[in-house]
Structures are given as C-alpha cells and as structure tokens.
Structure 1
C-alpha cells in the first residue's frame, strides 16, 4: 500500500490513471499525446504505477498496451472509507442513482445482481466469448468488443440470424461493459433502443456481477427481461462454477 500512496501522490501519475479510466488499453504514444512530457518521463511515471500494481500491460504484436488496475484503489476504499462510511455513502449513492434515473428517463429499468465464484477476467470472457455465450445462452455474442464497435446476438442453429444487435458504448476490461440493444428490424428507431450495463466487481474469491437493463420501451419489455436475465445468469453462474451449464435450459421452465 505504501507504493500505491507514493504513486498516487504525483499529479502526473494521477492524470495518467484518469486517461486510462477514460480509455483503457492505450499505448505509450497515445498516453504521451495527452501529457505534455517527454516519452522518457511518461515511461518513468508508468513504471512507478506498474510497480504499485495500478497499471498492467499487455503485448499486442509490437504494441504494449497499458490498462488501469482498480484493485489497489478498491483495497484503499475498503480499508479507509467503507468500514467508516459505508451505510451513509450507500444511502447517498442510492438517492443519487434514483434521482439521475428519474431525470434521464421514465422508461422502465431492470437490475439483477448475482455472486459468482470466479474472477473478473473469467466473467468478462463468459460475457464476450462467442463460444462460451453459445454454451449457456443459446446465442453467440459476436464483436471485437471495442468502444464504438457493433455487436450481434446470433442464434446457434446455423441460420446466422441475429435476434439482437447494438453498439459497444463502453468497454473497460474486465470490470465494465455497456452496450445498446435493439431488434434488427427496428434499427435506426431511437425510441426502440435499450441499454445493458455489466458491472463486474471482485470481492476476494468471488465476483459480484450487476446487470442493469435500462431504457426499456414498455412494461411488456420489462416483464420479458425480468424472466430472461435470471435464467441466463443462472446458467452463466453454473458454467463458471461447475464447468457445465444447468442440465436443463432454465428459460424453458419460466412460468411453470
């Protein structure tokens, strides 16, 4: 934790973390474009952040991509904030969220939370890997999962038909994924788009997965997703914890 506090004590390093929070997975060159410093100086600051485990790197060909690692910040929050302020902050957060939701839209919103014995990386993979989604969802989620990219929810019967399409709004591997959803027949109709957010939060050996499906166009759509999401996420949980989806498709027993 001493390394984390040392890394955070410098304004430039905090700005670098802000840049990665805005757009994760940047190269050194991309980071330098927004920081008025030499490449060597930025490299030195990134080395301090890596040593504190606040930044991780991944090689992609010749490029070295930098990713924000929020875990040390979460540990600071747990130690220095949560145990003292959790009840009050939770209440204020709930008030703020409800006020913002009311201000933004009167359209229905569905929220579902589940806890999975897994890691954020594996949960992210289960949501974005086409073969894994086919195993527990009955559809393949196909995309490169970059911000602004198209994604499709494709049937596994070989027809190639996509029952849902949309755009990747946010892609913050492995903690947050936001996409728009729409029936392909209604593409271009703004009032027919809904929005799904997957928030993946680690808690020691388990992960809290929160799914928020908002801007649903009517109460009928809310009823449909209220049945659908629990079934899909139960199957996902089974796959990650046991290696196999449930022995029977859970959506086939809805309403019984």
Structure 2
C-alpha cells in the first residue's frame, strides 16, 4: 500500500492515470502527446506506477499497451473509504466503466491480480472442472488442447453450458487463450469474444493477467468487468486459503 500512496503523490503520475482513465490501452507515444516531458521521464514515471501495480502492460506485436489496473485502488477504497462510508462512495465503479470503454483493435478489458500460489496451481484452478465448480459456480470442461472445444457448464447436473468456445492456445502453465460465445451463437464467428490468461511468476507469487477482448458493446464490457472482478477474487481466496469466499461475490448486492 505504501508504494501506491507514493505513486499517487506525484502530479505527473496522477496525470498519466487520468489519461488511462479517459482512454485505456495507450502506447508510450500516445501517453507522451499531452505531457511536456521527455519519453525517458515518462517511462520512469510509468515504471513507478507498474511497481505499485497501478498500471499493467500487454504486448501487441511491437507495441506495448498500458492499462489502468483497478485492483490497488479497489483495495485502497475498501480500507480507507468503504469501512467509513459504505457503500455510498463508489468512485471506483465509474473509474472502471470509463477505463473499460470499447477500443478498436485493442483489448477491451484487462484485469491483473497477484496470487500467493504457483503457476501450475493457478493453471489447474482455471482448467480443472471440480476446482472451477468450487469458486466459479460452473465447471470449465475440455481436454484443453489447442483446437478443442470447451464448455462453461452448470453444476446443477443438467449438463447445460452457458458459455462455449474453442481453445486457441494452450501452453501449461503460462498461457491459455479461448474464444467465448453463448451456445445459441456457436458457429457465428462475429459473436465470439476472446479471453487470454497469462500466468507469470512474480517473485514468490503469481501475476495473473486476464485480457477479455472483442466484446460486443459497452454494456457487455461492463458485465465482463464486474464478472471478472468477482470470479478472480474467489479464485484468489480459494488458492490462498483453501476455501472460496464465504459468499459468492456476485450474489452480494451493491448499493
């Protein structure tokens, strides 16, 4: 938390966060356009923001895109705001909404979380049917080979899948890419979105980056934002404590 406060104490760094707040997924050049500062200085400020986990990056070909990471801000809100004003001050929800606006040919939503676990255990938690049932409310079912079909299947015994898709890339335990669609849209390529899980060691813990792109519209992007925040909080709890959260995050009313 000290790194977050240190990062936010500088006006230039707050300006960079504001720029990403307005338009997420920018290159270094785009961020430098309206800041009277050398690229080297901006790079140094971005490094401080990355160290504080306020900014995450994704490579797209030769470009390095910068994204606002709401997790530390959420933690700050829970510690310093919600316990005093719960739940009237919801600045983070607006921050997320604006940060997740649809962008042409760029990932629509990027979420980064840090988990005290191993890459192998995180991979298994994303792909094992029993584990996903424990924290996600659905079983992810597939052989997880590139080109295979996968299903996000209900756990009520009905065998009904609420999401279907294809495994695009599968590199255990570091990278999994899948397409997503409602069962009624299966086969209609323009109706699919795409989810990438990047799993990387980060010191003695794991950095998990979830990129959800090709979403239909701003409404679907907002649903993805709230959905991933809940699912990944539950995943983190399961891996770090052995149990999911005592109440499913998506079942708790907000407001």
Is the pair's TM-score, using the shorter chain for normalization, greater than 0.5?
A: yes
Secondary structure at 2:63 match in 1: helix
TM-score (norm 1): 0.60
Structure 1 residue 237, shift from structure 2 partner: 0.2
State the SS of the aligned residue for 1:134.
Answer: helix
The runs of at least 4 consecutive aligned structure 1 residues that moved more than 2 Å come to: 90-95, 104-108
Gaps in structure 2 of 5+ consecutive residues:
1-43, 48-55, 67-102
Match of 2:165? 166
Superposition deviation, residue 158 in structure 1:
1.0
**Match of residue 41 from structure 1:** none
Rounded to whole Å, the distance in 2 between the matches of 1:212 and 1:255 is: 25
Q: State whether structure 2 residue 206 is matched by structure 1 residue 207.
A: yes
What is the CA-CA distance between 1:97 and the residue it aligns to?
A: 4.0
Residues 53-100 of structure 1: per-residue CA shift (max 9 Å, x gap): xxxxxxxxxxxxxxxxxxxxxxxxxxxxxxx9x95xx9896881449x
Match of 1:192 in 2: 191
**RMSD over aligned Cα atoms:** 2.7
Residues 192 and 93 (structure 1 numbering): CA distance in 2 closer, same or farther, change over 3 Å? closer
CA contact (8 A) 1:107 1:218 kept: no
Q: Is the 8 A contact 2:57 2:64 kept in 1?
A: no
Alignment CA distance shift 1:92-1:127 (3 Å): closer
C-alpha distance in structure 1 between counterparts of 2:224 and 2:104, whole Å: 18
Distance (Å, rounded) in 1 between the aligned partners of 2:132 and 2:143: 14
* Mapping of residues 1-256 of structure 1, within 5 Å: 87=47, 96-98=63-65, 105-106=104-105, 109-253=108-252, 255-256=254-255
Alpha-carbon distance between aligned partners in 1 of 2:243 and 2:58, rounded to the nearest angstrom: 40
Q: Which has the larger radius of gyration?
A: 1
Which secondary structure state, in structure 1, belongs to the residue aligned with residue 187 of structure 2? coil
Q: CA deviation at 1:185?
A: 0.4
When normalised by structure 2's length, the TM-score is: 0.60
Q: Do the aligned residues in 1 keep the contact of 2:58 with 2:65 (CA within 8 Å)?
A: no
